[in-house]
Structure 1
Amino acid sequence: MPDEIEWMRLTAEELRARAGADALVIVPVASLEQHGPHLATGVDIVLATAVAERVARRMAESGAPVVVTPPVWTGLAEHHMAFGGTVTLDYDAFAAVLRGILRSAQRCGFRRAMLLNGHGGNAEAVAVAATSVSTEFGMKVAAGTYWHLIGDAFAPVLERQSNVMHACEAETSMMLALRPDSVRRERLEEAHGPASTRVEGQPPTLALRRSFRDISPSGVVGDARPASAEKGEKLLDKAAERIAAMLRNAALWG
């Protein structure tokens, strides 16, 4: 099945063949957590998976061998726990899950992997895991959060922000495009909050996690009210285009 990109839809024999062709394994990494009054808790799972699959399809269309695993559906979400509806791991458990998945891929014969993250709370951890696995297993592992990887690509599409925040215009738009049944439209008027998770005077380079309950009573960072399915499709396409081009770069894996 040369056009199939989902690991779980391929046989073991077909996956061994992909490994032999030096296919890239893309692992979507997500979280199960509160997303304000208007979005279901599976937002990061849906979006990380959708971006990974769209990236993979673009790569496959250009002849690059690639396969996408099912998502890692839970991650580091302690900062959302006060709202309920959230599942979190501690760092050791999270890192062990990523290590186990990548070790399994390496034992199948794969030599390259990408941890494609869709949850802000995982960003630093996936980078550390990628470096650790690369060193330990002799496997080339890259890692990045999809909205960090795309630079300014989302800015022209959005009205009230320039990139992804949380349960915001961007995430709500993409969910309207992918899973409209997971958006409570009647609650959209409540779906807004501060424009940042940082206090005044805290630079972006200073990491200090605090509970989202203390930051935003609604659980939203940004403003979801201008969201639309049309914007969501544009955002997903822009993410897929930029990340696929990045991962097709042979120099990255040389």
Structure 2
Amino acid sequence: MRRLEHLWWPALQAAAQQPGSTVVLPVGAFEQHGPHLPMGTDLLFAEAVVDRVLDRLPAELPLWRLPAVAFGFSPEHLGFPGTVSLSAEALLAQLQGIAAALSEAGFRRLVLFNGHGGQIALLQVAARQLQQQFPSLAVLPWFLWSGPPGVLEQIPEPERSQGLHAGRLETSLMLALHPELVGELPAGEAMASPPAGLSLEGAVPTAWRTRSLSNSGVVGDPAGASAAEGELLLQGLVGGWCELFDTLLRSDWPHMRPVVGTMQRQ
């Protein structure tokens, strides 16, 4: 049983005391995904991959999951009905409370398994802060799409690099996971593009608001999406993350050195 919310507290305590005990926390968002994908797209993706990884990994590996964080940091999508965006401070506070409880129980690692690209940097900041506050708990801020190599290569350019939100990539994966949640695909629209050499994300990024780029909420083009393509994406994600989690759980990474107290001057 790998769901911590299903355990009695003595069983949870025993789980925490296992060498290398690791907890994965799916982190999603509640935000518009164009007129054809559900508000909880990022959460659905993170949970789907995590659950499949948990099912595949050997039972003896010390890995458990928490209920997901359903609301995230999504200010770029405000202006579309229904988008819920926590402040950075609110999300950090929630993660701090979770990490405090895990550290107190004795768990050794916390993986923030994030499905929303708009909060990658924030969760990296959170990981550093949590590491400072709870030195015995290693915190790993992982992003769904940036771990397993080669997954995105089946998406052709320019959609691979420019389809940042509700485009072909996400639409294909949703068609594979929950086709009943996919609406009629919107027609492509011309979007504002940064000057040559600059980018919305990547090496030379800029902060952006979806309303400034797209009337539909789509940043990219879902044309060409298919359930078959989504199945290949899903297989690549699950297989790749299984390998990465297995590597982590069979190691002592990251090495946690004892905290050295501040020396007082005589």
TM-score (norm 2): 0.84
Q: Select 1:23's aligned residue among 21, 24, 30.
A: 21
- Counterpart residue number, 1:253: 254
Counterpart AA for 1:98 = L
Structure 1's 194 and 14: CA in aligned 2 closer, same or farther, altered over 3 A?
farther
- Find the aligned partners of 2:30 and 2:180 in 1 and give their Cα distance: 17
Say whether the 8 Å CA contact 2:166–2:222 is kept in structure 1: yes
Say whether the 8 Å CA contact 1:36–1:219 is kept in structure 2: yes
Question: Does residue 141 of structure 2 align to residue 143 of structure 1?
Answer: yes
Which secondary structure state, in structure 1, belongs to the residue aligned with residue 24 of structure 2? strand
Which consecutive residues of structure 2, in runs of 5 or more, have no partner in the other structure? 256-266
Say whether the 8 Å CA contact 2:29–2:116 is kept in structure 1: yes
Structure 1's 75 and 107: CA in aligned 2 closer, same or farther, altered over 3 A?
same
Say whether the 8 Å CA contact 2:35–2:186 is kept in structure 1: no
Which secondary structure state, in structure 1, belongs to the residue aligned with residue 78 of structure 2? helix
Say whether the 8 Å CA contact 1:194–1:221 is kept in structure 2: no
Residue 210 of structure 1 and its aligned partner are, at CA, apart by: 1.6
Question: Does residue 126 of structure 2 align to residue 129 of structure 1?
Answer: yes
Residue 148 of structure 1 and its aligned partner are, at CA, apart by: 1.6
- Counterpart residue number, 1:227: 225
For the aligned residue pairs, the C-alpha RMSD in angstroms reads 2.1
String of CA shifts for 1:75-125, please: whole Å, max 9, x gaps: 111110111210001111111111111111112221111111110111001
Segment of structure 1 superposing worse, 72-81 or 231-240: 231-240
Residue 8 of structure 1 and its aligned partner are, at CA, apart by: 2.3
Question: Does residue 176 of structure 2 align to residue 181 of structure 1?
Answer: no
Residue 198 of structure 1 and its aligned partner are, at CA, apart by: 5.9
- Counterpart residue number, 1:168: 167
Q: Select 1:106's aligned residue among 95, 103, 120.
A: 103
Say whether the 8 Å CA contact 1:159–1:226 is kept in structure 2: no
Q: Select 1:200's aligned residue among 195, 204, 222.
A: 195
Residue 251 of structure 1 and its aligned partner are, at CA, apart by: 5.3
- Find the aligned partners of 1:182 and 1:171 in 2 and give their Cα distance: 12
String of CA shifts for 1:144-186, please: whole Å, max 9, x gaps: 2111222322313x345337721121211221222222111xx
Residue 42 of structure 1 and its aligned partner are, at CA, apart by: 0.9
- Counterpart residue number, 2:47: 49
Residue 57 of structure 1 and its aligned partner are, at CA, apart by: 2.6
- Counterpart residue number, 2:150: 152
String of CA shifts for 1:209-251, please: whole Å, max 9, x gaps: 2210111222112221222222222212211222222233215
- Find the aligned partners of 2:190 and 2:12 in 1 and give their Cα distance: 46
Which secondary structure state, in structure 2, belongs to the residue aligned with residue 253 of structure 1? coil
* Count of residue pairs the alignment pairs up: 245
TM-score (norm 1): 0.88
Residue 23 of structure 1 and its aligned partner are, at CA, apart by: 2.4
Which secondary structure state, in structure 2, belongs to the residue aligned with residue 51 of structure 1? helix
Structure 1's 90 and 106: CA in aligned 2 closer, same or farther, altered over 3 A?
same
Say whether the 8 Å CA contact 1:49–1:70 is kept in structure 2: no
Q: Select 1:36's aligned residue among 14, 34, 48.
A: 34
Residue 12 of structure 1 and its aligned partner are, at CA, apart by: 2.4
Say whether the 8 Å CA contact 2:30–2:70 is kept in structure 1: yes
4+ aligned runs moved over 6 Å, structure 1: none
- Counterpart residue number, 1:60: 58
- Name the structure with the higher helix share: 1
- Counterpart residue number, 2:261: none
